[in-house]
Amino acid sequence: MARSGRSRILEVPGGHHVWTRRVGDGPLQMLTLHGGPGSTHEYLEVLERHLDPDRGGPAVAFYYYDQLGSYYADQPEDLSLWTVERFREEVEAVRKALGLDRFVLYGQSWGGMLAIEYALAYQDHLAGLVISNMTASIASYVAHLKTLRAALPAEVERRLVEFESRDDYFNPIYEELLVSNLYTRHLCRLDPWPDAVVRGLQRMSMPVYTTMQGPNEFVVTGNFAGWDRWDRLSEIEVPTLLLVGRHDTMDPADIEEMGRRMPRAEVAVLENGSHLAMWDDEDAYFEALEGFLMRLEP
């Protein structure tokens, strides 16, 4: 893919700095919001294999963006910074600094939550919205996690609960139980995991992650636990693509319901995919994403 521009360090409210980089050329522009909270852009590098007009993909210039607290951005120690509302305003500051308007906002996982928040406040700037692997409330997410855990062998679930009851979340035995029984089924189904995925996880900002999410993907104790936007989805009127894996940590039925509530939404369920369906159901994922972006091209 042709690359244009350079990596840019942008100032955001509070005098802090975040990292961005533009990739590709084209009249359609897209800003990406990574997950976590506190991961990095790295696990989204798979976008470069597909958003390439020289290979028949859409003519899009997209931006990587590492949010405040992440590996490539400033990492202030003030835990009060890690809120949904502050991150929403950070996205608007990044939009202004990059000079984006009538652009596509792509958010994956936590980035999808953030994309919903941004659209509810600033959708006049959007040409389109992509919400990947994220439902409309944390309560819905937690309910599906309980369903996934109920499908585990009883002894595995008993041992997980034993560690959790004493807040022993970082015990190597507990972490191995999580990875072998849940992460490899519902986070990423490839073996081995792609290097870009491993890098994104290894560089997770734990202060951001634990403050907002909690100790891991299957235990939510952080400050966004009460987040719920089901009743406001109808306010999002821009063309929207909703993506979910059949084996996701998000319930495909929830994402289909989101599609019914949003006036201009379409839903793609990736039958072989999990939470990182852009990797473990790559062809189906990008068939849906590329088609959506091509329909948006000016």
CB 233 within 8 A of CB 154: no
Return the biggest CA–CA distance within the chain. 55
C-alpha closest to that of 103 among 133, 124, 131, 132: 124
Q: Is 275 a catalytic residue?
A: yes
- 169 phi and psi, to 5 degrees? -75, -20
Catalytic residue among 34, 144, 247, 275: 275
From the number of C-beta atoms within 10 Å of its C-beta (0-12, 13-18, 19+), residue 35 rates as buried
Asked about 248 being catalytic, the answer comes back as yes
Give every CB contact of residue 161 below 8 A, 6+ residues apart in sequence.
none
**165 is a catalytic site residue:** no
Please, are residues 145 and 159 in contact by the beta-carbon 8 Å criterion? Answer: no
CA–CA distance, 21 with 11 (Å, rounded to integer): 14
* Catalytic residue, candidates 70, 109, 140, 274: 109
* Distance separating alpha carbons of residues 225 and 213, to the nearest angstrom: 7
Residue recorded with tokens 């994956």: 108
Question: Exactly one of 248, 251, 254, 281 is catalytic; which is it?
Answer: 248
Q: Per the structure block, which two tokens stand in for 106?
A: 């792509």
Question: For the purposes of burial, counting CB atoms within 10 Å of the CB of 24, is it exposed (0-12), middle (13-18) or buried (19 or more)?
Answer: buried
Contact call for residues 241 and 270 (beta carbons, < 8 A): no
In what side-by-side order are the strands of the sheet with 28-33? 7-12, 16-23, 60-66, 28-33, 103-108, 126-132, 240-245, 265-270
C-alpha 63: how far from chain center? 14
Give the catalytic positions in this structure.
109, 248, 275
